[in-house]
């Protein structure tokens, strides 16, 4: 909620700036020198970027501490090939295929540390991994992109701008978990990042065998 309010404020201020500048540019009887016109259009451009930045921020979702943001159910198709029923926090169901022995879910996390400790998140990708180094280097890989993409992706800009300390951005990854026929896992969001947890006996047994 805090990130949504923050984004709405940025977008509102940017739209007000655009309105004021456009009004001054086309005010009847006012001749605008070239320099002032150039700066005016630069301000409009900057304000439009601010609007796109706010739109990108709105693609991040809020959740309560420990809330389930994804559920994964695995069905074995063949050796080291699994069909995954992926259900997100909105109960949107997607069927994906993963290759390998283990799976991992990655997400982008953005927090306003001066407002809230729990970050907002955007699901990034779901990937499979092989246990042996030889297969990991040579066997077919499976990586699926997740989540919505805004017209302007500001992630790299935020990550590479440490001076922008009002926003903290980092990757969150659930630890690699074993894939097994019939296994069900939940991924929850905590202040420090994502945590994958087994739901049924099959998943728990797979973890015990893997450890």
CA distance 107 to 110: 10
Whether 163 is covered by a domain: the verdict is: yes
Does 73 share its domain with 166?
yes
Between 160 and 137, where is the model more confident?
A: 137
Sign of the four-CA dihedral 110, 84, 177, 143:
negative
When divided into structural domains, the chain yields a total of 2
Its domain, for residue 112, covers 68-210
Whether 73 is covered by a domain: the verdict is: yes
Does 13 share its domain with 47?
yes
Contact 156, 140 (CB under 8 A): no
Instruction: Tell me 164's DSSP state.
Output: -
pLDDT in tens, 51-87: 777 777 778 888 788 889 999 999 999 999 999 999 9
Whether 15 is covered by a domain: the verdict is: yes
DSSP run (H or E) holding 143: strand 143-145
CA angle 71, 77, 80 (to 5 degrees): 85
Does 88 share its domain with 20?
no
pLDDT in tens, 23-60: 666 665 554 555 566 666 777 777 777 777 777 777 88
């Amino acid at each position: 909620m805090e990130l949504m309010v923050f984004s709405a404020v940025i977008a509102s201020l940017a739209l007000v700036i655009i309105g004021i500048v456009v009004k001054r540019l086309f005010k009847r009887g006012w001749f605008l020198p070239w320099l002032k016109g150039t700066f005016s259009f630069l301000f409009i451009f900057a304000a439009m970027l601010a609007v796109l930045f706010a739109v990108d921020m709105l693609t991040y979702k809020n959740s309560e501490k420990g809330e389930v943001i994804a559920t994964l159910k695995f069905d074995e198709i063949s050796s080291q090939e699994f069909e995954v029923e992926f259900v997100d926090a909105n109960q949107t169901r997607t069927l994906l295929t993963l290759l390998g022995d283990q799976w991992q879910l990655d997400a982008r996390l953005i927090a306003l540390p001066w407002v809230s400790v729990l970050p907002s998140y955007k699901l990034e990708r779901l990937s499979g991994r092989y246990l042996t180094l030889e297969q990991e280097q040579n066997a077919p890989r499976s990586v699926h992109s997740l989540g919505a993409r805004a017209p302007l992706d500001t992630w790299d800009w935020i990550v590479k701008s440490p001076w922008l300390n009002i926003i903290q951005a980092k990757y969150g990854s659930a630890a690699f978990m074993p894939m097994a026929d019939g296994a069900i896992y939940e991924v929850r969001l905590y202040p420090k990042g994502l945590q994958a947890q087994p739901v049924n006996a099959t998943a728990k047994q797979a973890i015990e065998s893997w450890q």
